[in-house]
Amino acid sequence: MRQPKKYNERVFMKLLLCTSCSDVKKLHIEQETICSCGKSKGKYLEDGLHAVISGPCVSLGLHNTELVAAIKKQMEGAFDFDRGLNFTAWVISKSSPRVKQD
């Protein structure tokens, strides 16, 4: 399965969050992702940067570099506190040129 492109040394991943069933799913290039209730769906376009989503949903952006660093530290036992390590995630704006919502 093809993965989204990396750009500017920073890697981001978009997820689909259905506000009807609260399912969160990763988007794939040109392969539709559908939530558990079937009301929301989305996919990356061929360029691997832009995406389209539809239904009662929002798209989420994850800062993958921060996420991978936090996972690596957890696996190495580099931190030992209950709360874990933070990484950046955000709700992508409806006006974002990278995600079109039908």
Chain residues that interact with Zn ion, rule: CB under 5 A: 18, 20-21, 35, 37, 39-40
Spatial distance between the Cα atoms of 28 and 23, rounded to a whole number of angstroms:
16
Is the CB of 31 or the CB of 74 nearer to Zn ion?
A: 31
Tell me the C-alpha distance between 102 and 94, whole Å: 10
To Zn ion, the closest distance from the beta carbon of 50 in angstroms equals: 22
For residues 71 and 91, which CB has a smaller minimum distance to Zn ion in the complex? 91
Tokens representing 21 are 């069933």
b/e code 63-102 from CB counts within 10 Å (16+ = b): bbebbeebeeeeeeeeeeeeeeeeeeeeebeeeeebbebe
User: Residue 64 or 101: which CB sits closer to Zn ion?
Assistant: 101
Helix (H) or strand (E) holding 75: helix 64-75
* Smallest separation (angstroms) from Zn ion to the CB of 21: 3
Of 24 and 71, the one with the shorter C-beta distance to Zn ion is 24
Q: How far is the CB of 38 from Zn ion (least distance, A)?
A: 7
**What's the closest the beta carbon of residue 92 comes to Zn ion, in angstroms?**
17
